[in-house]
Amino acid sequence: MSNKMWGGRFETGPAAIMEEINASIGFDQRLYAQDIAGSKAHATMLATQGIIEASDAEKIVAGLDTILSEIEAGSFTFQRALEDIHMNVESRLAGLIGSPAGRLHTARSRNDQVATDFRLYVRDTIDTLDIQLADLQRALAEKALAHAATVMPGFTHLQTAQPVTFGHHLMAYVEMLGRDRGRFTDARARLNECPLGAAALAGTSFPIDRFATAKALGFDCPTANSLDSVSDRDFVLETLSSAAICAMHLSRFAEEVVIWTSPLVALLKLSDRFTTGSSIMPQKRNPDAAELVRAKIGRIAGAFSGLLMVMKGLALAYAKDMQEDKEGAFDALSTLSLMIAATAGMVRDAVPDKAKMKAAAGSGYSTATDLADWLVRVLGLPFREAHHVTGRIVALASGKGVALHKLTLAEMQEIEPRITQEVFGVLSVAKSVASRVSYGGTAPKNVRAQAKRWLKQLG
């Protein structure tokens, strides 16, 4: 029995294990909409160029529309024996319209077909992710505006460093996500060239119009080299790289949510909507949404690394190794979408404990830098000398077990006699954050301005 897909060259069908390792329909069926769109554009171009009859093209397009409706309705039967989405669609098309279906594959190969489908899919996914990221930025900026003056501790080395505001902290992630969106935008711009018509690797002798199919599919232009068109997946790698960086940002935020919601810290509360309980400890409220967001970057970074390893040793042009480009990418991009949605939900759900945040902001001598700055600004000390004086005052307060502002003026004057009562005006956390008015600083008026700017930009 000859192999129907490969025609006369093969006398028998594949072994069962060959079918198992070779088939991709289990995952590439999600490319159905892109595959059908590409085929419709190709058929229309073939008719316009006089390569196939217009009547055949009309039947092909109508049949493809029927298949699209069947798949979306859930009535289409995907056949593993047909390997992939391309052959499943083509086989069903033949069943619907007969011999005209056989003309669809004129002047193309599955090599340029899958490259086109995948570019369309990644492009569509980037557009969806951009909308999601903009929504997350909006959620962060809205919360930041509401808490522009909510004082909290700022950290370095996870140790209390200087007071900041909760709004300022949230706006840091708005900026990170803005760069993430920029990376996706750049990746989208570079991938937006159409491989269709490159055929197997060398182009085709048919008088096709690649510019027409590129335009019909929303690409900027056709790819310029047929070998490159079918043999590279750098557009997937670049997108996965951008996804991994974005997931890293989300993971960092999730880690902070886990820390802040711990009863030992208790700076933030999440509702039942984004927490779970314990099967044995009834008192528990676990930040599982945050923990899962924190963890899922592994899948995304793994997909990027995995595809990089697949591609690193491949000679031009197409090799079956490249079938491994999809499963990891599909999973990674779907995972990132879920991470963004969960993070946006947590941001909108989170309620900061303002009193605990303010108390924590004042711990650990967090206004020591303000004291040093005051010594420079008012007494004219060189900063290094002011730093030394401040360190001695902090040591004194630490030895007495009191906060800086609980020291008496006389105690501070024992270390630096020129200190005046005015110094107590810079030792409160509220005045500390209010004084950070440099561009990008944590002063509440800065935070409000930045949050409003972003909200206006996000629309």
Active site residues: 157, 278
Rounded Cα distance between 223 and 214, Å, is 9
Amino acid at 144: A
8 Å CB contact between 184 and 392: no
Please choose, from the candidates 44, 43, 32, the residue with its C-alpha nearest in 3D space to the C-alpha of residue 117.
32
Rounded Cα distance between 276 and 257, Å, is 14
Rounded Cα distance between 164 and 172, Å, is 12
Amino acid at 151: V
8 Å CB contact between 18 and 193: no
Q: Please, which residues bridge with residue 269 across strands?
A: 351
158: left (phi over 0), alpha (psi -120 to 50) or beta: left
Tokens of 183: 């990376």
**317 preceded by a cis bond (ω within 30 of 0):** yes
DSSP 276: B
Tokens of 213: 């199919």
DSSP 426: G
Angle at alpha carbon of residue 13, lines to 10 and 14, rounded to 5°: 105
